[in-house]
Structure 1
Amino acid sequence: MAVHAPPTADRTVSRRKSPLGSRWTPYVFLGPAAVFILLFQAVPLLQQIYMSFTRTTLLNPTRSEWVGLANYEQIFGDPEFHRTLVTTLVYTVVCVVGSVGVGLGLALLLNRSFRGRGFARALITVPWAAPGIAVALIATWMLNAQYGIVNRFLNAIGLGVPGGAILDSPQYALPAILVTTVWQLFPFTAVVLLSALQAVPQDLAEAATMDGAGRWWSFRAVTWQVIKPTVGLLALLMTIWSIRRFELIWLMTRGGPVGTTETIVIDLYSQAFESQQLGTAAAIGMVGVLISLVVIGASSAVARFQERGQG
């Protein structure tokens, strides 16, 4: 008489043979994302690298002339590009420090218990939720020389700008854009840091307070140690986003006046679509890519150094 295996054994065998349990499972799930990155990130990047070594115009992009390093020699030999790099550096540093600093201070305040805390937490997300184009148009309207509320306020306290043309002033245009950018970015950092503060062990903070530690030392010894990785990640994200920022600067000043607010991305756009030099624009874009890679590499090196120090 034949002996049949119980149904559970069949299910076990079939489960073992299932492709979801094989070593190819991670590749099945990662495959679509890898194909997407390859088609829409890697291929355009390779095309940009090639174009940066050619003389290609916008009117005839299919015909290009190989010029080697001529585009890089041109941009690095231009004093205006040096000023663009400095402006990009200033813009990035101020945006990162300002957004993370303001966000951290606001997160510490919102982490306390007070009446209306839920409403306040929801209210701070408004600048981040607003589209960048809307933020730029509202800021431009507020800074208008004739009817802008900012000029009226500055005139009322005796700090008015001569003529009221803040965005047309080489001295005040960049600070105005910096304030607008920080105002738009700080809600994101505040929300993320507020979430990180929820993970701070309250018993350790209370123990530090009972031992006589002040608020600063309690923050440094307990709170900062917990949120420091989150702050580092936010600083990295804000750095990359600031280097790539385009719409707000372009809509408010178009890189002017006299190039005082021109960053790498604005210069790239001007070279590609105004001067119609795609090769030069590609070289400028590669400089931005290299700067981003250096920032990411430095951030990773600092993180590894800190982990070794803790270990």
Structure 2
Amino acid sequence: MTVLEQTKAPARRPTNRRRPSPLGSKWTPYLFLAPAALFVLVFQAVPLAQEIYLSFTRTTLLNPTRSTWVGLDNYVRIFSDESFHQTLLTTFIYVVACVVGAVGSGLVVALLLNTAFRGRGVVRALITVPWAAPGIAVALIATWMFNSQYGIVNRFLNAIGLGVPGGSILDSPRYALPAILVTTIWQLFPFTSVVLLSALQAVPQDLTEAATVDGAGRWWTFRAVTWQVIKPAVGLLALLMTIWSLRRFELIWLMTKGGPVGATETLVIDLYSQAFDSKELGSAAAIGMVGVIISFIVIMGSRLVARAAEKGDV
């Protein structure tokens, strides 16, 4: 090679070897899951382990650092108490009524909002107000509405001849729980209606029109076409409503505090009473573990139902 050719030849640039990015390695999924896993470990797993240990001890709120191991005594004591059986029954009634009422009313509202009418956008926006309102505000408004002296509910019931004797709905063992159920469903149904409305808009219109052309009525069209599309959303909502109903505290506590005479006492209300009124942290932890076990059974049952639905058995 001549000197001229050497001068014209381009100079080679030094190549810098780049280190492989961690985003392209096999650890990438674990890297993204690490913050969530750390959060669950610190704020869920550790407190749950502490609660499990606490449920096997006799610990008081006045001296929480000093505990005595008692084994299953806390569980034996709460299950041998007849009032706890009533608490479980009240919790079951409350959860079932909330799930059926919230999902059922949400489905009806979603079907209505899915039809075309003037002002539909405004109605869709206003329907979310109960869900957006804070639980404390909802409880205070409901307490005012059910008031025996100036509550609008009592005035309406008296006007149609169905007034409650004495007008004390929230003080009546017979009517307190239905009043709380109505308030809870009123707060929950906007969420279910919005979710189901989104599911309804995913229903293929050509299948609906084909069923109508084949002579199927509204019920059979809904059962054969619409329900098959929205069924997963309904199952998810039922699971969420069950968990939320098991955990609901502020609305019941602010309206009745579990009364009168335990008519509205659910597991979380009983847990709070044991921990802060009776100051028995061990018994409160045992009640909490009962709620955890019930939630676990509900979740596993929902998964089994979902798998059966995928296989076509449901």
Root-mean-square deviation (CA, aligned residues, Å) is 1.8
Q: Which runs of 4+ in 1 moved over 4 A?
A: 1-7
Aligned residue among 68, 71, 91 for 1:68: 71
Give the structure 2 partner of residue 185 of structure 1: 188
Please tell me the residue identity of whatever aligns with 2:290.
Answer: V
Q: List aligned pairs for 1:2-13, cutoff 5 A.
A: none
Alpha-carbon distance in 2 for matches of 1:310, 1:53: 41
1:101 aligns with 2:111: no
Give the structure 2 partner of residue 50 of structure 1: 53
* Change in 2 beyond 3 A, CA 1:79/1:209: same
Give the structure 1 partner of residue 3 of structure 2: none
Give the structure 2 partner of residue 238 of structure 1: 241
Alpha-carbon distance in 2 for matches of 1:169, 1:121: 36
Shift of residue 193 of structure 1? 0.3
Shift of residue 254 of structure 1? 0.2
* Change in 2 beyond 3 A, CA 1:5/1:170: farther
Q: List aligned pairs for 1:15-26, cutoff 5 A.
A: 17-26=20-29
Give the structure 1 partner of residue 250 of structure 2: 247
Give the structure 2 partner of residue 84 of structure 1: 87
Shift of residue 6 of structure 1? 8.7
* Change in 2 beyond 3 A, CA 1:18/1:115: same
1:213 aligns with 2:216: yes
Shift of residue 168 of structure 1? 0.1
Aligned residue among 166, 169, 173 for 2:169: 166
Structure 1: gaps spanning 5 or more residues: none
1:130 aligns with 2:136: no
* Change in 2 beyond 3 A, CA 1:5/1:115: farther
* Change in 2 beyond 3 A, CA 1:287/1:5: farther
1:204 aligns with 2:207: yes
How many residue pairs get matched? 307
Give the structure 1 partner of residue 198 of structure 2: 195
Percent of aligned pairs sharing the same letter: 77
Please tell me the residue identity of whatever aligns with 1:65.
Answer: T
Q: Secondary structure of 2:312's partner?
A: helix
Give the structure 2 partner of residue 286 of structure 1: 289
Alpha-carbon distance in 2 for matches of 1:3, 1:42: 63
Structure 2: gaps spanning 5 or more residues: 1-5
Alpha-carbon distance in 2 for matches of 1:309, 1:261: 39
Aligned residue among 114, 118, 121 for 1:115: 118
* Change in 2 beyond 3 A, CA 1:201/1:65: same
Shift of residue 3 of structure 1? 9.5
Aligned residue among 36, 43, 46 for 1:33: 36
Alpha-carbon distance in 2 for matches of 1:4, 1:54: 78
23-32 vs 124-133, which moves further = 23-32
Alpha-carbon distance in 2 for matches of 1:243, 1:46: 20
Q: Deviations over 1:144-167 (max 9, x none)?
A: 000001001111111100110000
Aligned residue among 253, 257, 277 for 1:274: 277
1:302 aligns with 2:292: no
Alpha-carbon distance in 2 for matches of 1:118, 1:306: 34
Q: Deviations over 1:70-102 (max 9, x none)?
A: 000000000000000000000000000000000
Shift of residue 128 of structure 1? 0.2
Shift of residue 26 of structure 1? 1.0
Please tell me the residue identity of whatever aligns with 2:58.
Answer: R
Please tell me the residue identity of whatever aligns with 2:271.
Answer: L
Alpha-carbon distance in 2 for matches of 1:276, 1:4: 82
* Change in 2 beyond 3 A, CA 1:215/1:69: same
Q: Deviations over 1:196-237 (max 9, x none)?
A: 011100000000001000000000000000000000000000
Alpha-carbon distance in 2 for matches of 1:267, 1:135: 22
Alpha-carbon distance in 2 for matches of 1:183, 1:300: 28
Q: Secondary structure of 1:255's partner?
A: coil
Please tell me the residue identity of whatever aligns with 1:107.
Answer: A
* Change in 2 beyond 3 A, CA 1:171/1:6: farther
Q: Secondary structure of 1:309's partner?
A: coil
Shift of residue 14 of structure 1? 3.7
Alpha-carbon distance in 2 for matches of 1:52, 1:4: 76
Alpha-carbon distance in 1 for matches of 2:11, 2:290: 70
Alpha-carbon distance in 1 for matches of 2:64, 2:191: 39
Shift of residue 308 of structure 1? 1.9
Alpha-carbon distance in 1 for matches of 2:312, 2:226: 19
Q: Deviations over 1:218-276 (max 9, x none)?
A: 00000000000000000000000000000000000000000000000000000000000
